[in-house]
Amino acid sequence: MIDYHVHTHHSIDAEGTIDEYCSQAVKRGLAEICFTNHCELDPMRDDSYIRFDHRKILFSRDGVRRLQQEVFGARDRFRKHGLQVKFGLEVGFYRGIESVLQNMIDGLELDFLIGSIHCLNHVCIDSSREAHLYFSEHDADHLMNEYYTEITALIKSGLFDTIAHLDVYKKYGIQFYGGRIHAAPAELLREIFSLMKETETALEINTAGLRKINQLYPSKDIMTIARDQGMKLFTIGSDSHTVADLGKGISEGIAYAMAYGFDMLCSYSGRKRLINSL
């Protein structure tokens, strides 16, 4: 089992040290864990931080280098326990970020890069405190159109290995829009999956949905469209923000992906894709 979406206390919304997660991974029989702390770079927002020693500092190249060193330390310490430790980031994408991000990661020894859309119009739709600010201004169709347009830009940037929690807007959108939030725009999604195939971008099966809204991300109707477009590459992650959630739902997530024809579970080393047998 592998878990390719994990936040430690270096993310300002998460807790648990790298070593605590690694020990838990060994206990739970994971073969591999990839740390993917948040990399938010929007100057219009106040969440571009990384945390060390209980203090948050502005996100910077030096900060990511320090994080890399900490992950590499754990990689060495936990090798003897049979655990592979990988270094990744989850980037909150918005258009215009491309060169800033490239400069930020240039020269780093990253294994894996997740692309996510967390914000629309600089409002975090994945935050209980903020989502209503966007939702109260726009109907569900507008939200999904805008969200998937940003997802398209994210894929076209060519910067990312996988796309996280594709229908995460449902987490708070369900309360706001009710059933309308489930009407995924099929035409847009077909174009998105065909673009993902073309660019060999993987789709993440994110098990946090099970804990938040009792469904895996993405939902079954979206998986059906992905299957019909011939998607095969996927990554899997718990998106854990606490040690207790590490590895949760992974077996279920893999079975779910396979049921929709995804048969290429990807892991990454130095940004190179490896296919795991299922």
Q: Which region among 86-94, 142-150, 178-186, 264-272 touches Zn ion (by CB under 5 A)?
A: 86-94
- The least distance separating Zn ion from the CB of residue 126, rounded to whole angstroms, comes to 6
List the interface residues with Zn ion, window 98-137 (CB under 5 A).
Answer: 116
CA 243, distance to chain mean position in Å, is 17
Residues with Cβ within 8 Å of 218's Cβ and at least 6 positions away in sequence, in order, are: 165, 166, 167, 203, 205, 226
- The least distance separating Zn ion from the CB of residue 241, rounded to whole angstroms, comes to 7
- The least distance separating Zn ion from the CB of residue 89, rounded to whole angstroms, comes to 10
Residue 90 binds Zn ion, judged by CB under 5 A: yes
Antiparallel, parallel or unpaired: β 272-276 and 264-269: antiparallel
Q: Which region among 15-23, 65-73, 231-239, 253-261 touches Zn ion (by CB under 5 A)?
A: 231-239
What CA–CA distances, in Å, run from 6 to 10, 11, 112, 223?
Answer: 11, 10, 12, 23
Residue 40 binds Zn ion, judged by CB under 5 A: no
Q: Which region among 58-66, 89-97, 140-148, 225-233 touches Zn ion (by CB under 5 A)?
A: 89-97
What track of x and - describes contact with Zn ion for positions 163 through 182 (by CB under 5 A)? Answer: --------------------
Among 239, 247, 249, 253, binds Zn ion (CB under 5 A): 239
- The least distance separating Zn ion from the CB of residue 94, rounded to whole angstroms, comes to 13
Q: Distance (Å, rounded) from C-alpha 158 to C-alpha 166? A: 17
Residue 161 binds Zn ion, judged by CB under 5 A: no
Query: b/e for 108-129, b at 16 or more Cβ within 10 A?
Result: eebbbbbbbbbbbeebbbbbee
Q: Which region among 152-160, 235-243, 245-253, 264-272 touches Zn ion (by CB under 5 A)?
A: 235-243
- The least distance separating Zn ion from the CB of residue 130, rounded to whole angstroms, comes to 14
Query: With CB under 5 A, what is the number of residues at the site for Zn ion?
Result: 3
Paired strand residues for 194: none
Q: Which region among 60-68, 189-197, 237-245, 259-267 touches Zn ion (by CB under 5 A)?
A: 237-245
Applying CB under 5 A, the residues found at the interface with Zn ion are: 90, 116, 239
